[in-house]
Amino acid sequence: MYLRAFSMLKNANQDTISSSELAERLHLNPPQIRKDLSYFGAFGTRGVGYPVASTAKQIRGILKLDVTQKAALVGAGRLGAAIAAYPGFEMFGFDIAAIFDNDESKIGTIIGKNTIEDIAKISIIEDRDIHLAILAVPGEAAQSVVDMLVNCRIKGILNLSPCYLEVPKRIKVITIDLAMELGILPYYM
């Protein structure tokens, strides 16, 4: 969240930002921001604020986003296609380096710079040094695809299907279920 904020400030050519200004943007309070940034080892200038460029760099380093991270997209349906075209990954240094599907009519099709490949050949991600996967397949297929990914020594999975995945503990999984997020809203209305 901080990285995105600092990246956006950098794009807007703002050189420094104070904790109170940042707090307003992020809907947090100033002490929280100072605490967090101090944990990151960020160096603000007293009387001025935080230097945008170097703080962004600092956070990038902590998150290991200072090198381009290759990711494989599994599932080239509507959601997969939307993700392949999503411009936001660039800011965080991601590169969608491969796209897989099991639908023969899609294999060979080109999306952006990638050609859709047969999911049966998913083990090539190991050769290509890809350690991240974005999962955009139907819920029923999710676990079996994950099992394949586990065999390919994947290290992290962004799961967009609404189901819990069984993986070895060494693998980090983040699940986003749009319906579940939407389900929070009526409570507040």
Partner DNA sequence: CACTGTGAATTCCTTCACAGCG
Partner DNA sequence: CGCTGTGAAGGAATTCACAGTG
Write out the residues near DNA by the rule CB under 7 A: 17-20, 28-32, 34-35, 37-38, 42-50
Q: Identify what 78 binds: DNA, a copy of itself, none; CB under 5 to 8 Å per kind.
A: a copy of itself
- For a copy of itself, the closer of residues 81 and 125 by Cβ is 81
131 binds, among DNA, a copy of itself, none (CB under 5 to 8 A by kind): a copy of itself
Choose from a copy of itself, DNA, none: what does 185 bind? Cβ within 5-8 Å by kind.
Answer: a copy of itself
Tell me whether residue 107 or residue 132 sits nearer to a copy of itself (CB atom).
Answer: 132
Pick 35 or 155: Cβ nearer DNA: 35
Q: How far is the CB of 29 from DNA (least distance, A)?
A: 5
Q: Which is nearer to a copy of itself, 119 or 136 (CB)?
A: 136
| DSSP one-letter string for the chain | -HHHHHHHHHHTT--EE-HHHHHHHHT--HHHHHHHHHHTT---BTTTBEEHHHHHHHHHHHTT-SSPEEEEEE--SHHHHHHHH-GGGGGGTEEEEEEEES-TTTTT-EETTEEEEEGGGTTHHHHTT--EEEE-S-HHHHHHHHHHHHHTT--EEEE-SSS-----TTSEEEE--HHHHHHHHHHH-
